[in-house]
Structure 1
Amino acid sequence: MASPVYSESPDGGWGWMVVLAAFFQTALVFGVIRSFGVFFVEFVQYFDKLSGSVSWITSIGIAVQQFGSPLAGALCTCFGARPVVMIGGLVSGLGMFLASFATSLMHLYLSIGLLSGLGWAMVFTPSIASVARYFKKRRSLATGLAFTGVGLSSFAFSPLFQYLVDIFAWRGALVILSGMTFNLLVCGALIRPLTLKEDLLASEKVAVEQSKDRNCLGQCFSLFDLSLLSHRPFMRFVLAITLINTGYFVPYVHLVAHARGKNFDEYRAAFLMSVAAAADLCGRIFSGWMADLGRFQILHILVFWTSLTGLSLALVPLGQSYTTLLAISTGYGFCAGAMTPLVFSLLPEIVGIGHIFGALGLLQMLESIGGLLGAPLSGWLRDLTGSYTTSFCVAGGFFLLGSLVLCTLPNCFSCCSAKPLDQLAVVPEELKVDPASDLLNHEVTVH
């Protein structure tokens, strides 16, 4: 069957169905991860293990999801996003189903941590990359709408999972959760294949490189798009996001504990995170709309929201009254939410849409270093100083440092957008396309 080739992203049409699919995919991946604390309590009681041992279930899952992202990107390059997402949905649902038969924590490590984690990697990276490929002018808004699934599901899943556990116990609840997760196959089926002009250029370039270097190492280098590791703007962007990621998860882990330390009861302390989550949801939509107005460069907007997020974190220790702490939490949630979709919207401008699968996979893997170190560092500072004041100040400092690194990206101090990798790299003569050809100016059909 003929497949249309677009000179640029269609910026709508079926793309909105891809956004809807990504909405449910982010909900069924990160919404489940954020709400898994309900099962955490049940596992601690049933297996009679320490909290630290049980915590490894979700920690392994998150680590596998992030470190497996380059593999997901490579599979998408070979087979397309649709089959990869559908297989990922099958694997993650199977992991949840097998976990319902668990007789030990090792069983849960392997089923939820390893199997579901791998499935989450094969779902998240292709779905967000597909949204970026379908949109250009409205990419930030589309990405923001896709990520609202995380906020809404965080509200809905925790009470839902608790209800399922109360009615069916944790084994029955995991069976139902696996059924919900299998809906990722339907979401994957909604991702129609999309061929862009840059895809043809990138695939021809890879073919030329592979013809020159036929050894296994060279094949892997091309498949995983490891040439991006020598692309300086991309690596500086990765460094910035890794620094930001180091401070990003600190409030999710320690804000409630900080509020309890200020003698606020557990319900008022927990309400801080609920308000932050609601503000996060609004921030994602607002920043997407703001970026797509075209009045400001996406990089400038990202630096703005990142800096405000860092400042709001540094102000947390000043919240001596509940009203002040609630206002600061709301500000943090809004700014952090506004920042998130812009990270994924800016990436194609740095590397080019033809490299989005490989770039997103490498970004996810490398930024995980910050996510893994941030919360333990914050806890160590709390143990060292006796309060969370230093922890939040240091977390805010990581955001501000990340903002400074973002300012080193090309054209940050001009009104022009950074050139993508395809324009920065030297294109071989045999891969250059005639500017007057139909491939650049019209939609054509490839058989």
Structure 2
Amino acid sequence: MDEVLTQKKEEEEGKRRKEEEYKRTEGEHDKRKEEEDEAKNEEIVPPDGGIWAWMVLVSCFLVNGIIFGVINTFGILFVKLKSDLEKAGVEDAALKCSLVGSLTIGSTFLLSFLVGIVSDKIGLRFTALIGGVIATLGMGLSSLHFHSVEVLYVSYGILFGAGSSMVYTPSLTILGHYFRKHLGVVNGVVTAGSSVFTIVLSFTNTYILEHYGVQACLQMFTMLTAVTILASLTFVPVLPPPAIVHTKHQSKFRELVQKVIYLPNWKNKRYVIWALAIPTALFGYFVPYVHLVEFAKNIPLDENEHMNGEKASTLVACIGITSGLGRLIFGKLSDHSRIKVNGNRIILQQIAFVAIGEIRISDVTLNSCTSESELN
């Protein structure tokens, strides 16, 4: 009996040792694989220059400029579109027109999360190429059916917005493949494209809408949007995708989630707070771009109707100018050695949002005080 028990114990001990040896060997294999993947990533360094890198920079500048130039100057289009719909007898024209712009902005940012997943699967260039085609198709349909606000909800609001998201998100990601040392300046230059196009289109749109109407303006937008298709062809990745770390005995659900979400980011409390705070801060960011021109015209800024419209549209250009200067200055500042470390770039962004909030509160307070003084 004792011999049988001893034999069983020896067999169990042997199995336990084999399991431990297997786990140790597998753990070393996984660790070695991770180190090899990291070594591969370290071998490829962004060139920080070169003809193709500068082509990517120009392409991203154009993508950001065209997409946000169109979005930021929607307030100018809104005035004319609302006027035409009111003449056609459409009820609640202001609400319906503003919904078109809201759908565009909402689609562009709301779908960015899904676009990131799609680009990981099919690549940055192909994702951006599809986005450029969809955005151009949406804007083209808008120019054909500009008289129907219901069609504009789908064509301008959903199709153009979704396409813009698919080409805009890769345009930011691809910059990290070609630039590292001066990435802050590069981001500043690229995002300044939106300011440049906003300034130009704030005057161009006003002229075209006044002399040729809504359809001609939308046709111009279609031609501009088609440029993003060509720009997306330069988005050739040079860095390998980040390696997915698989832990032993993880559930099927976790494996599925890990294929679409980079989980380590969500273990970082700072990242989680930042990811939740940014969408909240952006709720009111685009409101002036939609309603500022109409609001200014109703003040009015000039007794002459033509001059009143031009002055109201110029306010959008003013936002573009100051925004562009800020992007360039803070892009350069974010590359400073003291700003790069310890998450100071995030603090810089937080200061900017606080400043925006304070200015908006001051505007509302000043407007209320002015109204009260006029009543008295």
Q: TM-score of the superposition, structure 1-length normalised?
A: 0.61
Question: 1:82-109 deviations in whole A, cap 9, x for unaligned?
Answer: 1111110100000011112225211110
Identify the residue that residue 93 of structure 1 maps to in structure 2. 136
Identify the residue that residue 422 of structure 1 maps to in structure 2. none
Identify the residue that residue 322 of structure 2 maps to in structure 1. 279
Verify the 8 A CA contact 1:68 1:121 in the aligned structure 2: yes
Which whole-Å CA distance do the structure 2 matches of 1:214 and 1:286 have between them?
47
Question: 1:281-315 deviations in whole A, cap 9, x for unaligned?
Answer: 11211222222232433633552464366347536
Range 4-13 or range 73-82, more displaced? 4-13
Matches within 5 A, 1:288-437: 288-297=331-340, 299-304=343-348, 306-307=350-351, 310-311=354-355, 314=358, 387=367
Identify the residue that residue 150 of structure 1 maps to in structure 2. 194
Q: Between Structure 1 and Structure 2, whose CA radius of gyration is higher?
A: 2
Letter in 1 for 2:74: F
Matches within 5 A, 1:134-145: 134-145=178-189
Letter in 1 for 2:122: F
Letter in 2 for 1:108: L
Verify the 8 A CA contact 1:92 1:119 in the aligned structure 2: yes
Residue correspondences, number? 316
Letter in 1 for 2:107: V
Which whole-Å CA distance do the structure 2 matches of 1:118 and 1:269 have between them?
29
Identify the residue that residue 82 of structure 2 maps to in structure 1. 44
Distance 1:181 1:271, change over 3 A: closer
Q: 1:59 aligns with which of 98, 102, 124?
A: 102
Q: CA deviation at 1:168?
A: 4.0
Letter in 2 for 1:144: G
Which whole-Å CA distance do the structure 2 matches of 1:272 and 1:167 have between them?
21
Q: 2:49 aligns with which of 3, 12, 21?
A: 12
Question: 1:309-348 deviations in whole A, cap 9, x for unaligned?
Answer: 63475367778xxxxxxxxxxxxxxxxxxxxxxxxxxxxx
Distance 1:388 1:235, change over 3 A: farther
Q: 1:122 aligns with which of 140, 160, 166?
A: 166
Which whole-Å CA distance do the structure 1 matches of 2:46 and 2:127 have between them?
21
Q: 2:73 aligns with which of 18, 35, 38?
A: 35
Structure 2: runs of 5+ lacking an equivalent:
1-39, 303-307, 370-376
Verify the 8 A CA contact 1:96 1:116 in the aligned structure 2: yes
Task: Give 3-state SS (helix, strand or coil) of 1:195's partner.
Answer: coil
Verify the 8 A CA contact 2:60 2:190 in the aligned structure 1: yes
Which whole-Å CA distance do the structure 2 matches of 1:113 and 1:297 have between them?
37
Identity between Structure 1 and Structure 2 (%): 25
Which whole-Å CA distance do the structure 2 matches of 1:154 and 1:77 have between them?
31
Q: 1:241 aligns with which of 275, 278, 286?
A: 278
Question: 1:232-263 deviations in whole A, cap 9, x for unaligned?
Answer: 22102213424543564466568789989999
Pairwise CA RMSD: 3.5
Structure 1: runs of 5+ lacking an equivalent:
320-381, 390-447
Q: TM-score of the superposition, structure 2-length normalised?
A: 0.72
Which whole-Å CA distance do the structure 2 matches of 1:41 and 1:88 have between them?
28
Q: CA deviation at 1:229?
A: 3.7
